[in-house]
């Protein structure tokens, strides 16, 4: 299915959808990584 | 195009949930489905972070210290156990309903159960009645876990016939990653609501419940199922079924009659048993075997969680190229070797090797979860894969009991018989290796499902749906 037909998914839809889940996940992973680095101190 | 009979009466709110209303229109990108699935899995993955509430919930009455009337940690431990138990039960019981009702209805139901569980638990904290929390988070929230966990699986497989492992791996990775968000968020919220006499757990439950409800409902709004006969551009389905990838569907309850279902059940159960036991005891194990500080041990646990999450995506994606049975073959052979070598890392005092071995082991534990939906799809087809996956998750519930019990009791037995603490886990590691040998044999015995279990063409099948033409444009 093409991305830009009427009523379909736009690039903006895709970016927003992935940001919605990607941002909190990335923040959580970074926080865990910072804590995990204590293993090497 | 065909869809289920309920499509004909799809009106109002009830109609909005129907599968027919979720059929993608032209121009819909399949790459919207993984974020929809992640909206659900990242929320229900909070379950792995529930332990952050345990200590504050032992001080609900006073806020600063525990009083005799406060709840004990042992009582609170049942909340998580109940939730995981009802995850297995609900995914098995509601699997067929989820499959036939479509992903939107299932995701919305999961959102109501999951958020409702939090709100009921907040009330339980407020009135300080523990059984309300058992019912709220444990039973109702647990049903939200089970329904939410399986809700996007078959939809993802249908959108990504070219890469089913990668697609389900993304969603199930979200379940592993949910704790990374929930843990710091919960601590931050409790800090905001905390006063000298109040720990702020009830308010945190309310806020979390509302946030999760919104996220999960967004997932249910953006999810779509592909039109019948849809295939990705350039994708040509293999004309012939390969030896271990069936082109035929098997009805959900007929799958239970096949040896393949039970072999894969044991494959999952044994792979999870080996991983879940060490995951729960990782902090204590590295401290006792390698004498690292508690802070470093906490760092090790965090690193394991990251590999648990990353392994879910990595191994499921690899399985699209290696094949599902071969991927589990790698899990078992590598697992046997690594578990057998863990005592040796203790003997030579190598923390680095110990950490490396367990990170690989835990990545394969996560990979076991994320690869199994595609394994089921290969064996039983796509029609009822979500429901069959739901039934298979009872293996997880079983492993959740056996894994920690084996590790805890064997360690306790060894210590009580004079074995030094640093060596107390050695026997357990060898037992885990033996379990993986059994898993390896079960995996080896998996062959193609016999043709007598295959569903008949649509209209004659036993799935319960009357198939009608609804004339949806695509």
Question: Rounded to whole angstroms, what are the CA distances from B8 to B3, B21, B222, B266, B472?
Answer: 9, 10, 22, 42, 11
Tell me whether residue B469 is exposed, middle or buried, using C-beta atoms within 10 angstroms of its C-beta: 0 to 12, 13 to 18, 19 or more.
Answer: exposed
Chain B positions in Cβ-Cβ contact with residue A25 (cut-off 8 Å): 38, 42, 174, 177, 180-181
Distance, in angstroms, between A23 CA and closest chain B CA?
A: 10
Nearest to B27 among A7, A18, A20 (CB): A7
Q: Residue B361 is encoded by which pair of tokens?
A: 């082991």
CA angle B140, B142, B146 (to 5 degrees): 120
**CB B27 to CB A9 under 8 A?**
yes
Q: How far is CA B334 from the centre of its chain?
A: 22
Question: pLDDT tens for residues B69-116?
Answer: 899 888 888 898 889 889 989 999 998 899 889 999 999 999 999 999
Per-residue burial over B389-428, b = 16 or more CB atoms within 10 Å of its CB, e = otherwise: bbbbbbbbbbbbebbbebbeebbeebeeeeeeeeebbbeb
pLDDT mean across residues, chain B: 87
**Interhelix angle B324-348/B426-445, nearest 10 degrees:** 170
Q: Six-digit token pair at B353?
A: 């090797």
Contacts of A3 in chain B (CB under 8 A): 27, 29
Q: Residues near B409 by Cβ (< 8 Å), separated by ≥ 6?
A: none
Give the pLDDT of residue B407.
79
pLDDT of residue B459: 53
A15–chain B Cβ distance below 8 A for any pair = no
**What's the pLDDT score for residue B150?**
93
| Residue B296, phi then psi, degrees to nearest 5 | -65, -35
CA distance B392 to B279: 21
pLDDT at A1 over 50: no
Q: How far is CA B130 from CA B66, B80, B227, in A?
A: 16, 13, 47
Which of A6, A18, A40 has the CB atom closest to B35's CB atom? A18
Give the C-alpha separation, B346 to B354, whole Å.
8
Q: What residues of chain B score a pLDDT lower than 70?
A: 1-14, 239-242, 457-474
Of B139, B136, B140, B171, the C-alpha closest to B153 is: B171
Which of A3, A5, A39 has the CB atom closest to B296's CB atom? A39
Query: Tell me, what's the pLDDT at B168?
Result: 93
Residue of B nearest to A7 (CA): B27
| Residues A13-30, mean pLDDT to the nearest whole number | 94
Tell me if A38 and B298 make a contact (CB, 8 A cut-off). Answer: yes
> What is the reported pLDDT for B84?
86
* pLDDT for the residue numbered B5: 36
pTM for this entry: 0.85
Residue that wins the pLDDT comparison between B171 and A40: B171
Question: Cβ(B341)–Cβ(B430) under 8 Å?
Answer: no
Q: Using H for helix, E for strand and C for coil, what is the string for chain A? A: CCCCCCCCCCHHHHHHHHHHHHHHHHHHHHHHHHHHHHHHC
A5 alpha carbon, distance to own chain's centre: 25
Which residue, among B27, B170, B231, would best test binding to A if mutated, counting the most A CBs under 10 Å from its CB?
B27
Q: What is the pLDDT of residue B464?
A: 39
The C-alpha atoms of residue B133 and residue B117 are separated, in whole angstroms, by 8
Q: How many beta carbons lie within 10 A of that of residue B74, not counting itself?
A: 7
**DSSP reduced 3-state for B234:** coil
Determine the distance in angstroms separating the CA of B180 from the nearest CA of chain A, rounded to an integer.
Answer: 5
Model confidence pLDDT, tens digit, residues B107-166: 999 999 999 999 999 999 999 999 999 999 999 999 999 999 999 998 999 999 999 999
A26 vs B contacts (CB less than 8 Å): none
In angstroms, rounded to a whole number, what is the distance separating the alpha carbons of residues B409 and B350?
26
ipTM of the complex as predicted = 0.87
Residue B242, strand partner residues: B245
């Amino acid at each position: 299915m093409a991305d830009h037909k009427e009523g379909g998914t736009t690039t903006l839809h895709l970016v927003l959808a992935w940001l919605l889940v990607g941002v909190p996940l990335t923040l959580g992973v970074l926080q865990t990584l910072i804590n995990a680095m204590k293993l090497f101190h | 195009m065909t869809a289920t009979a309920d499509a004909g009466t799809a009106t109002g709110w009830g109609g909005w949930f129907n599968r027919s209303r979720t059929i993608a229109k032209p121009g819909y990108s399949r790459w919207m489905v993984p974020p929809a699935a992640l909206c659900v899995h990242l929320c229900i993955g909070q379950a792995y972070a529930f332990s952050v509430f345990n200590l504050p919930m032992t001080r609900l009455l006073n806020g600063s210290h525990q009083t005799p009337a406060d709840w004990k940690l042992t009582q609170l431990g049942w909340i998580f156990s109940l939730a995981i138990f009802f995850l297995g039960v609900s995914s098995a019981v509601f699997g067929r309903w989820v499959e036939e009702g479509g992903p939107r209805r299932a995701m919305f139901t999961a959102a109501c159960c999951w958020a409702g569980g939090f709100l009921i638990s907040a009330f339980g904290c407020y009135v300080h009645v523990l059984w309300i929390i058992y019912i709220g988070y444990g039973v109702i929230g647990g049903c939200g876990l089970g329904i939410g966990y399986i809700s996007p699986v078959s939809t993802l497989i249908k959108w990504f016939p070219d890469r089913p492992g990668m697609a389900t791996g993304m969603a199930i990775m979200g379940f592993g990653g949910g704790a990374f968000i929930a843990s710091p968020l919960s601590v931050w919220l409790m800090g905001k609501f905390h006063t000298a006499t109040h720990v702020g757990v009830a308010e945190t439950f309310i806020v979390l419940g509302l946030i999760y409800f919104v996220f999960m409902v967004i997932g249910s709004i953006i999810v779509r199922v592909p039109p019948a006969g849809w295939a990705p551009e350039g994708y040509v389905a293999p004309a012939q079924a390969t030896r271990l990838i069936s082109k035929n569907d098997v009805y959900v309850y007929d799958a239970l009659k096949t040896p393949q279902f039970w072999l894969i059940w044991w494959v999952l159960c044994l792979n999870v048993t080996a991983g879940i036991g060490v995951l729960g005891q990782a902090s204590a194990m590295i401290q006792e075997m390698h004498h690292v500080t508690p802070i470093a041990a906490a760092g090790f646990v965090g690193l394991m969680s990251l590999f648990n999450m990353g392994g879910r995506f990595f191994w499921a994606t690899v399985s699209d190229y290696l094949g599902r049975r071969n991927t589990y073959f790698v899990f078992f052979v590598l697992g046997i070797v690594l578990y057998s070598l863990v005592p040796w890392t203790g003997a030579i005092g190598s923390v680095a090797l110990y950490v490396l071995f367990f990170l690989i082991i835990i990545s394969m534990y996560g990979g076991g979860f994320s690869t199994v939906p595609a394994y089921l799809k290969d064996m039983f087809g796509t029609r009822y894969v979500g429901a069959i996956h739901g039934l298979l998750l009872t293996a997880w519930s079983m492993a959740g009991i056996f894994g920690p019990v084996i590790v805890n009791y064997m360690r306790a037995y060894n210590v009580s018989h004079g074995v030094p603490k640093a060596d107390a886990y050695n026997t357990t590691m060898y037992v885990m290796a033996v379990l993986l040998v059994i898993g390896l044999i079960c995996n080896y015995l998996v062959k193609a499902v016999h043709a007598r279990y295959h569903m008949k063409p649509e209209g004659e099948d036993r799935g319960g749906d009357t198939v009608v033409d609804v004339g949806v444009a695509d």
